[in-house]
Structures are given as structure tokens and as C-alpha cells.
């Protein structure tokens, strides 16, 4: 076994922190062989010193003050696994200013304050590693930064929120309503008691901001991303989508187009033949298209103690190797340029639309005319059943600019025989 040691300090030992200490203990010898150092968890910061901790922490000092870690000269790496934004931001700044390398899984923090933290890291000759911040155990940050660096990344399209994918899968396979599927996800621990960040699409948007910043080499701000959650998706739409040959998924999409970056998170009808349609339950997958490599897909567990711990420990190993080999600070987030953002109104999509209309002659003709006026052409139209004396019409358009489509929808709403536009979902 190696006789050198790299000391780390953990900030937080909850779900992911426990996974990290378990992996470091279980694979200690293997890891020491790979790094040529023993990785030692010297101290752990927690809120509650009395709480029971994983047995693997025996011999590790639990502390309640962050300075015990950030000011400890023996600790070279600070691993932030507390979550939240302000407190972790303050603690990470302290660590960086004291010359510590930082590993974090905190996407909320990085999406909002990554620029500031990377700058402080650079000023202090250290770096921040964050493989676990997007899609848990799936390697995606490092592949984008290293293995795909030769490419112009044209598109990233991912299922990067396990909670919403679990809910949509339960609705699809078991015919549950959105509310029942959410309740079950909460009972099984796949959704938080306050699920809003997940179901409203914010969590996926934080992760998309991180991925798009790396892929497009541009600092992507949260307000550049159009966000729509799954809370409006009904079982009825999932059933119609099935009949049309699609699955409904919450997709995070980033494209590099001529006019700028097109960035959005929204429920999407994905054709059954597309690999993302087969990604079910809490699994995540990220589809990447590079100009040289073509299409790639990364698939696996996007959360959980051990999968997320796997990504965090890989980062710790990389830092430890850099320290041992006196590689200054690994790859820095340098040279981010400001790239224009293409507004949602200018992005082209296909649209699934469900509406209610009076069951009378001429309704379909006025629908087709209104769409035609805005150059919206229709790919599929079905009239399935009567609902409360009204006909329910479902249609899918061909690709059309959002602004044209929504102008046509506003005109449709003004037609007396159209009583309601009940649902609109984008289609890939």
C-alpha cells in the first residue's frame, strides 16, 4: 500500500457524503494503487454531531465549525456535499482562498455562482471539480471537457432529472395520474417533500446551464434558459402520445445554432425509436452530438448514495493524482466567451396540440386555414372521441417557429367553434 497520504475534509455527510466515505473505505487499496497515495477523510463538518454516521467514519473527527477544515494545513481537498447555496458558497470561497482544491456535487450553486467561484480558484492557483453535479454517476462533465474537446458540440439533449422521469414512467406504465405518481415518488424517496425544483424543471435547467457552459465554452446564465415543468402533463396526453408513437419525457435541450445558443427545458414527445424514449424510471441519459464524433449517448443512474459517490470519489482521485504529480491545478474554466442566446420565439419545433371544438362541419377546415395563414403545416390530425358533447382534436405540426405557432394558437382561440386549447407539448 502507498505510504503517501492526501487528506480531505468533507462538508456534509448525508446521502452523498455517506456514499463517498463508504467507497473510499471499500476500495481503499485499489484507489491507493491508482493514486499512489492513501486518501484519508481527516474531518467531516455536520450540523448535528450526535446523529448516527456510517461505520466507515470511525476514527474521523466530526466538526461543527467550517474553519476546522478550511484552516487545517494538512487538508488539501475540501469536498462540499451540504447542498444549498449561500452557506456552501461562503464555505467554498474560504476553502479556495486558503489554497484548497474543491470537489462539489452542488449544481444549484455552480449554475448560479460558478463564474465567481472559478475566478477565485484561478486567483488562488487551485481548481473546482464537479462531475457529480450533473447526472449523478454518469460521466458527462469530463467527457465533454476532455474526450470531446476536438468537437464543435452541436447539440445536447438529456433526461437529467430522475424524479420527473420516474413520475412520467409511472404514468405511462401504470396509468397513474400526475398527482398519484408524484405521491408515490415521494413515498419511495425519488421526490422531495417540496418537489417544485424538480417538477417545475428548475433542477434540470441548473444542470443544463452547467453542461451548455462546458459544451459551448460560454458562461450560460439561468435566465437564458426557457423552462417548463411536467406539472401540466396529463395521463390523457401520455395516452395520445402512445397512439401517435411517442413517449413523453422532460428534456433539457441545448443547441448551438447560427443565430446563437438555443436553451430550453420542457416536456417533449420523443419518438419511440429514439434512444431517449427507452430511458425509464429514475434513470438519466444524455445524448450529445459533435461535428466530428457524431451522436453519442451516456446512460445510467443520475442520483443516489453510491452512484453520486462514485462521481465525487473520481474527482477526489483526479485531484489527488494532480497533487502527487505536481500538475498545477488541472484544467481551468478559462476563455469562456459570451455567445448570443437565440430567443425561444425563434426556435423551430413540432407541436402536439390537443383542443376541444364543437362537433360540427367546417371546424377542421377553419383549423387548417388558421394554421395555414401562419405557415403552420400539419403532420397528423386525429379526432378521437367526444368529450361533454365536444369533439377532441389532437394534431401534430411539422417544424415551425414558435412565434408563428403561438400566433396561430391565439387566432384559434378566437374562433367561436374552438372552445378550448387544452394542451401544447413540443415534439422532437
Q: Which of 22, 42, 100, 207 is catalytic?
A: 207
* Torsions phi, psi for 362 (to 5 deg): 95, -10
Question: H or E stretch including 246?
Answer: strand 246-257
Smallest distance, ligand NAP to C-beta of residue 158, A = 14
Residue 8 near residue 41, CB atoms below 8 Å: yes
Nearer to ligand NAP, 82 or 156 (CB): 82
CA distance 107 to 405: 34
Smallest distance, ligand NAP to C-beta of residue 135, A = 8
Residue 11 near residue 46, CB atoms below 8 Å: no
Q: Is 150 helix (H, G, I), strand (E, B) or coil?
A: coil
- Which of these, 375, 365, 339, 350, lies nearest to 418 by C-alpha position? 365
Q: How far is CA 126 from the centre of its chain?
A: 26
Nearer to ligand NAP, 14 or 271 (CB): 14
> Applying CB under 6 A, which residues contact ligand NAP?
12-17, 45-48, 51, 81-83, 87, 105-107, 132, 136, 303-304, 308
Smallest distance, ligand NAP to C-beta of residue 11, A = 6
Nearer to ligand NAP, 16 or 270 (CB): 16
Smallest distance, ligand NAP to C-beta of residue 132, A = 5
Nearest residue to ligand NAP on Cβ basis: 14
Catalytic: 26? no
Question: What cell was used for 381?
Answer: 390530425
Q: Between the CA of residue 169 and those of 102, 162, 175, 280, 286, what are the distances in Å?
A: 36, 10, 9, 6, 17
Nearer to ligand NAP, 46 or 238 (CB): 46
Nearer to ligand NAP, 88 or 397 (CB): 88
CA distance 279 to 165: 8
Question: What cell was used for 292?
Answer: 466530428
Smallest distance, ligand NAP to C-beta of residue 44, A = 8
What are the catalytic residues? 207
Amino acid at each position: 500500500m502507498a505510504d503517501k497520504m492526501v487528506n480531505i475534509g468533507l462538508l456534509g455527510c448525508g446521502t452523498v457524503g455517506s456514499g463517498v466515505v463508504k467507497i473510499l473505505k471499500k476500495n481503499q487499496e485499489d484507489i491507493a494503487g491508482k493514486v499512489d497515495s492513501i486518501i484519508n477523510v481527516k474531518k467531516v463538518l455536520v450540523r448535528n454531531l450526535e446523529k448516527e454516521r456510517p461505520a466507515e467514519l470511525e476514527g474521523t473527527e466530526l466538526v461543527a465549525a467550517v474553519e476546522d477544515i478550511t484552516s487545517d494545513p494538512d487538508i488539501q481537498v475540501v469536498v462540499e456535499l451540504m447542498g444549498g447555496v449561500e452557506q456552501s458558497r461562503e464555505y467554498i470561497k474560504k476553502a479556495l482562498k486558503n489554497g484548497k482544491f474543491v470537489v462539489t456535487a452542488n449544481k444549484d450553486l455552480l449554475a448560479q455562482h460558478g463564474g465567481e467561484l472559478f475566478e477565485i480558484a484561478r486567483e488562488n492557483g487551485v481548481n473546482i471539480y464537479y462531475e457529480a453535479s450533473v447526472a449523478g454517476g454518469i460521466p458527462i462533465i469530463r467527457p465533454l471537457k476532455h474526450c470531446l474537446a476536438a468537437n464543435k458540440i452541436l447539440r445536447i439533449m438529456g433526461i437529467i432529472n430522475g424524479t420527473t422521469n420516474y413520475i412520467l414512467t409511472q404514468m405511462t406504465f401504470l396509468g397513474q395520474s400526475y398527482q398519484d405518481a408524484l405521491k408515490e415518488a415521494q413515498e419511495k424517496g425519488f421526490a422531495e417533500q417540496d418537489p417544485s425544483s424538480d417538477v417545475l424543471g428548475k433542477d434540470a435547467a441548473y444542470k443544463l446551464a452547467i453542461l451548455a457552459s462546458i459544451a459551448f465554452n460560454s458562461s450560460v446564465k439561468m435566465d437564458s434558459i426557457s423552462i417548463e415543468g411536467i406539472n401540466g402533463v396529463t395521463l390523457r396526453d401520455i395516452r395520445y402520445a402512445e397512439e401517435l408513437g411517442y413517449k413523453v419525457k422532460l428534456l433539457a435541450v441545448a443547441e448551438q445554432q447560427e443565430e446563437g445558443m438555443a436553451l430550453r427545458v420542457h416536456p417533449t414527445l420523443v419518438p419511440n425509436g429514439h434512444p431517449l424514449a427507452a430511458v425509464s424510471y429514475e434513470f438519466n441519459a444524455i445524448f450529445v452530438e459533435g461535428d466530428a464524433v457524431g451522436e453519442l449517448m451516456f446512460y445510467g443512474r443520475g442520483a443516489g448514495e453510491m452512484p453520486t459517490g462514485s462521481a465525487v470519489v473520481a474527482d477526489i482521485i483526479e485531484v489527488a493524482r494532480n497533487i502527487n504529480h505536481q500538475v498545477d491545478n488541472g484544467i481551468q474554466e478559462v476563455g469562456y466567451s459570451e455567445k448570443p442566446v437565440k430567443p425561444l420565439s425563434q426556435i423551430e419545433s413540432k407541436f402536439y396540440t390537443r383542443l376541444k371544438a364543437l362537433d360540427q362541419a367546417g371546424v377542421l377546415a377553419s383549423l387548417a386555414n388558421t394554421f395555414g395563414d401562419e405557415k403552420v403545416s400539419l403532420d397528423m390530425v386525429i379526432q378521437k372521441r367526444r368529450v361533454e358533447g365536444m369533439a377532441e382534436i389532437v394534431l401534430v405540426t411539422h417544424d415551425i417557429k414558435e412565434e408563428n405557432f403561438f400566433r396561430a394558437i391565439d387566432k384559434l382561440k378566437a374562433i367561436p367553434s374552438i372552445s378550448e386549447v387544452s394542451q401544447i407539448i413540443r415534439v422532437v
